Amino acid sequence: MTAILQITDTHIVPEGALVSGRLDTFAALTRLIERITSIQHQIDAIDAILISGDLSDNGSPESYDRVKSLLEPLGLPLLVIPGNHDARAPMRATFGDQFAADGPLDWAQKIGDLTVIGLDTLVEGAREGTLVPSSLAFLKTQLKNAKDAPVLLAMHHPPFQTGVKFLDDIGLTNRDVFCELLADHAGPLRIICGHIHSMTVADVGGHVAISAPSPCSTFAYDRRADAPVGFMSLEDGCLLHKWEAGFHSIRIGPNAGPGPFPF
Ligand SMILES: [Fe+2]
């Protein structure tokens, strides 16, 4: 069995700052890590933690150091990919071991039974995402190398439409070419992403794609053309992706109430 814990959209800021003057994202991530630590004995071993973008809210070097300082005590391999709020240079400075010296922050690692692939969809200065030709070529090569072995594929921007206008306006611009590429892959594969701060499951190129919730905030599922644009605070947890003769994705939500009580 192989287990990857996916945390996404932590939006950490420098010490003393709040996101949009409201959210203490460092405190929210601290609470999530406390929750994970408190249940670790219940969920079997975790092989690695993967943060699927928007680690930082403002791309500051200090925010990446703060993310690392919170997660390092868990003693697990830490894998990261950038989101639209991130910046490549400070990410490379803090998490450089997993990246090539230049270019997009794409990577592939064998973890247990899984080939884990991270794709960089960041367009610096923009909120929408794109897979540049070199990232698409990298993906094609990695899928070919994986053959029939299970693949967990992480990217920040979801490769599916959400139905929420402001989120789809800042989505993945070349979703079609990504879907075509995946449709050619016959092996077991699960796509995991972030960006939309809520858990959604969708079909993409014949595979299942899942977006993870955020530990600090969420957006309404509001399909109206004139829906208000903005966030709400919600400490909505993270996802645990397991491979054991098939994929199994489990949501680790906020703390439940007291119990368990006998039936
Ligand atoms: Fe985000």
pLDDT tens by residue, 180-203: 999 999 999 999 999 999 999 999
Cα(39) to ligand 1 centroid in Å equals 25
Q: What is the C-alpha to C-alpha distance for residues 16 and 111, in angstroms, rounded to an integer?
A: 36
Number of domains in the chain: 1
Q: What is the C-alpha to C-alpha distance for residues 150 and 75, in angstroms, rounded to an integer?
A: 25
Cα(209) to ligand 1 centroid in Å equals 17
Whose structure tokens read 């367009």? 123
**263 inside domain:** no
**258 inside domain:** no
**257 inside domain:** no
Which domain covers residue 121, as residue numbers? 2-252
Average pLDDT over residues 53-58: 98
**262 inside domain:** no
* 96: confidence class by pLDDT, cuts 50, 70, 90: confident
Cα(9) to ligand 1 centroid in Å equals 4
Cα(85) to ligand 1 centroid in Å equals 7
Cα(110) to ligand 1 centroid in Å equals 27
Residue 1, Cα to own-chain centre: how many angstroms?
A: 21
Check pLDDT > 90 for residue 117: yes
Cα(52) to ligand 1 centroid in Å equals 10
CB 251 within 8 A of CB 258: no
pTM for this model (two decimals): 0.97
Q: What is the C-alpha to C-alpha distance for residues 25 and 236, in angstroms, rounded to an integer?
A: 12
Cα(186) to ligand 1 centroid in Å equals 31
pLDDT (0 to 100) of residue 255: 86
Cα(201) to ligand 1 centroid in Å equals 17
**112 inside domain:** yes
Cα(54) to ligand 1 centroid in Å equals 5
**29 inside domain:** yes
pLDDT (0 to 100) of residue 210: 98
Q: What is the CATH number of the domain that holds 164?
A: 3.60.21.10
**125 inside domain:** yes
Residue 88, both tokens: 């490549």
**147 inside domain:** yes
Check pLDDT > 90 for residue 248: yes
Cα(262) to ligand 1 centroid in Å equals 39
HSE-up of residue 84 (Cα within 13 Å, Cβ side): 17
